[in-house]
Structures are given as structure tokens and as C-alpha cells.
């Protein structure tokens, strides 16, 4: 059975430190971690240096690996800076992808088990395409990843983004 989850923020993180504070709460569930990725993408459009730190943090990879899709994200920042806003509720091409507070992201998921218990694909609503787009996350147990847990010290496993290429696909241009 499909479930629709609303993840919201009264105020979006303004910098990496705010993002980390949010991550401690939101990365314990795949739906919230997926929505947090959208916030990191939006942060990149507003401040590439801060946004890159956030994207680097929430993406599952080894610390020495570069962020795999960074060239695509850099290109979007030049041509479709509004793309991350298309994932927030209330934004549309007709209103220039403007969204009101609270900032809300809707994520569809189901309880079905995938081939791997540590992986989950959820779907984020996108007004710029009129559908939900997949994003895959990976659960990392506390004992396997010092890099993340040193900063957050969560109570349990955390979800990191493993594949997000579908979220980088073009959306309709804003009318306004």
C-alpha cells in the first residue's frame, strides 16, 4: 500500500551547520532524508559552496569519492535554478515555482521489501513534471560509518541518498 508523507520546514537551513542540525532529526527515515536532499539541492542553487557540503554529506559514498553528479548539478544551477523549487508543495510553472511557508515536500513510499533490506526507493512530488520522481536511499548502520556519526550521534541507522539522477531531469520553464 502506498503512503504519502509530508515533510515540512518553517525555515529552511541557511548553512551547513543548520543542515546538519536538521539531518540529525530527518535522516532516520528514508522519506525525510529524501526531502532533505531536495533542501540540499536548493541550497546549492543559492550558495554552491554551502550546498555542495550538504549534498556531499547526505549522499552515500566514501569520503574520498567526488560527488558523482556534480557536473549535472552545476549545469542545472546555470540553466534551471528553479528545479529544486519544483519539488516543494505549492510551487508550479505558473507561479514561477514560488512556494509559501511552511516549505513542504511530499514523498510517496510503500512498505514492500526490495531486493536489499538496506535500500529503499521513494518518490518525490514534482510540479514541474506533474508526477513523482524516484530517489533511492541506503540505510547505514551506526557501526559502519564513523564519518557521519561523529557529527550527528544518532540513535540508530541513518538513510543516505544512493541515487538521485531522476531528480535532475528538466522541468517545465516557469511562466512568470
Q: Does 116 reside within a domain?
A: yes
Q: β-pairing, 119-126 with 2-9?
A: unpaired
Q: Does 128 reside within a domain?
A: yes
The CA-based angle 137-30-165, given to 5 degrees, is: 35
Q: Which among 12, 40, 4 has a CA at the least distance from the CA of 101?
A: 12
Q: Does 108 reside within a domain?
A: yes
Q: Does 175 reside within a domain?
A: no
Could you tell me the residue range of the domain that residue 75 belongs to?
2-168
The three grid cell numbers given for residue 4, joined into one nine-digit string: 504519502
Number of domains in the chain: 1
Is 41 in contact with 136 (CB distance < 8 Å)?
no
The three grid cell numbers given for residue 135, joined into one nine-digit string: 530517489
One pLDDT digit (tens) per residue for the chain, 176 residues: 689 999 999 999 999 999 998 988 899 899 999 999 999 999 999 999 999 999 988 987 765 566 667 888 988 889 999 999 999 999 999 999 999 999 999 999 987 666 678 899 999 999 999 999 999 999 887 655 555 555 666 566 889 999 999 999 999 999 96
**Cis geometry, peptide bond prior to residue 80 (ω within 30 degrees of 0):** no
Could you give the angle at which helices 16-26 and 30-46 cross, rounded to 10 degrees?
170
Reduced to 3 states (helix: H, G, I; strand: E, B; else coil), residue 85 is helix
The CA-based angle 132-137-141, given to 5 degrees, is: 155
How far are the Cα atoms of 10, 36, 75, 103 from residue 7, in angstroms, in the given order? Answer: 11, 9, 27, 8
Reduced to 3 states (helix: H, G, I; strand: E, B; else coil), residue 165 is helix
Q: Which among 113, 110, 124 has a CA at the least distance from the CA of 42?
A: 124
Q: Does 12 reside within a domain?
A: yes
pLDDT of residue 60: 79
Q: Does 14 reside within a domain?
A: yes
Q: Does 102 reside within a domain?
A: yes
Distance CA 89, CA 22 (A): 19
Q: Does 176 reside within a domain?
A: no
pLDDT of residue 117: 80
Q: Which among 49, 27, 34, 15 has a CA at the least distance from the CA of 84?
A: 34
Amino acid at each position: 500500500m502506498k503512503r504519502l508523507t509530508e515533510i515540512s520546514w518553517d525555515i529552511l537551513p541557511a548553512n551547513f551547520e543548520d543542515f546538519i542540525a536538521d539531518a540529525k532529526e530527518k535522516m532516520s527515515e528514508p522519506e525525510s532524508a529524501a526531502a532533505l536532499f531536495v533542501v540540499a539541492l536548493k541550497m546549492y542553487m543559492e550558495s554552491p559552496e554551502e550546498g555542495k557540503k550538504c549534498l556531499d554529506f547526505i549522499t552515500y559514498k566514501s569520503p574520498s569519492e567526488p560527488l558523482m553528479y556534480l557536473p549535472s548539478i552545476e549545469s542545472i544551477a546555470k540553466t534551471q535554478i528553479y528545479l529544486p523549487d519544483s519539488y516543494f508543495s505549492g510551487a508550479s510553472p505558473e507561479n514561477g515555482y514560488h512556494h509559501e511557508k511552511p516549505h513542504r515536500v511530499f514523498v510517496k513510499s510503500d512498505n514492500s521489501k526490495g531486493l536489499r533490506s538496506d535500500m529503499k526507493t521513494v518518490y518525490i512530488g514534482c510540479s514541474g513534471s506533474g508526477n513523482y520522481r524516484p530517489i533511492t536511499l541506503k540505510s547505514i548502520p551506526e557501526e559502519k560509518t564513523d564519518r557521519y556519526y561523529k557529527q550527528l550521534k544518532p540513535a540508530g541507522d541513518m538513510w543516505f541518498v544512493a541515487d538521485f539522477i531522476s531528480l535532475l531531469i528538466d522541468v517545465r520553464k516557469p511562466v512568470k
